[in-house]
Amino acid sequence: YKKVTTKSLIEMKSNGEKISMLTAYDYTMAKIVDTAGVDVILVGDSASNVMAGHETTLPITLDQMIYHASSVVRAVERALVVIDLPFGSYQSDSKEALRSSIRIMKESGGHAVKLEGGKEIKESIKKILNAGIPVMGHLGLTPQSIYKFGTYTVRAKEDEEAEKLIEDAKLLEQLGCFALVLEKIPANLAKQVAESISIPVIGIGAGGGVDGQVLVIHDMLGMNNEFSPRFLRRYMNLYEGMTSAISKYVTDVKSKDFPNEKEQY
């Protein structure tokens, strides 16, 4: 795929090709992620945690999401760019949801939006889709509802919640969402959902039976050594690598090793 579209993702699912997705929040990182061949770049509201240092995703604003998203869009040539609608920008009513989505699309140049929830936000999803804006769903652990759940532990372990999740996934497909994220639910349940709908299911902490995987870039690069959920695979230890590079710089400045003769005019 020269340029990934919502259609290519649906094709990937029917061809059995797994979809790769990572987050990015800024130009430099997005350029690297895109060049490395990631199919979908998510400008996640996890920016609230990893970029701004908030404890939850709730404080990030629509303006801040648009700033991150427009920085990412300027870097990307191939990937599909999906942007999270932040908490408070779509829950009041479907008109607000559409207004927020239009702002994201116009002001960032991104390709699709993502919203957390199922049946509760049905009208909003319909309205956004009617405006021609592709929507990605997000079920399971939905961090914008952290104060309702109280913890970030695995969701839908009980039958009742699992059943609602299956219904919500089918509803999202029916409404016309092009894909959905399943976060931190039992692998068996995620596999069952992926097999029962035709749109791609991208998992995070949802096992290998789904159609693709997503991780937060800072986590998979090991920039963050405090957050170690079971589902996280670290591909680098950038925390150590960067800390030792930076302390070497400090040493070189103090010892007058840097700059040397060749590093000056």
- Nearest distance from residue 176's CB to ligand KIV, in Å? 20
What would the two tokens of residue 75 be? 């870097």
> Which of residues 43 and 223 has its CB atom nearest to Na ion in the complex?
43
Name every residue whose Cβ is closer than 8 Å to that of residue 248 and which is 6 or more positions away in sequence.
Answer: none
Contact partner at residue 112 from ligand KIV, Na ion, none, CB < 5 to 8 Å by partner kind: none
Smallest gap, in angstroms, from Cβ of residue 138 to Na ion? Answer: 7
- Helical (H) or strand (E) element with 20: strand 19-23
Q: Give the Cβ contact number of residue 226 at 10 Å.
A: 5
Q: Is 167 a catalytic residue?
A: no
- Three-state DSSP class for residue 80: strand
* Residue range at the interface with ligand KIV (CB under 6 A); choices 2-10, 32-40, 42-50, 126-134: 42-50
Q: By CB under 6 A, what part of segment 8-27 binds ligand KIV?
A: 23
* Shortest Cβ 44–ligand KIV spacing (Å): 2
When the beta carbons of 45 and 211 are compared against ligand KIV, the nearer one is 45
- The DSSP string of 153-215 is SPP--SHHHHHHHHHHHHHHHHHT-SEEEEES--HHHHHHHHHH-SS-EEEESS-SSSSEEEE
**Adjacent-strand bridge partners of 201:** 180
| x-marked contacts with ligand KIV along 51-90 as a string, rule CB under 6 A | ---------------------------------x------
Choices 37-45, 58-66, 148-156, 160-168; region in contact with ligand KIV by CB under 6 A: 37-45
Report if residue 219 touches ligand KIV, rule: CB under 6 A.
Answer: no
Say if CB 83 and CB 43 are below 8 A apart.
yes
Within 88-117, the residues that bind ligand KIV by CB under 6 A are: none
User: In this structure, what token pair is assigned to residue 193?
Assistant: 């959902």
Distance, CA of 10 to CA of 96 (rounded, Å) = 28
104 versus 252: smaller Cβ distance to Na ion: 104
Q: Where along the sequence are the contacts to ligand KIV (CB under 6 A)?
A: 23, 42, 44-46, 84, 181, 183, 204, 214, 216
Which residues line the annotated binding site for Mg(2+)?
45, 84, 116
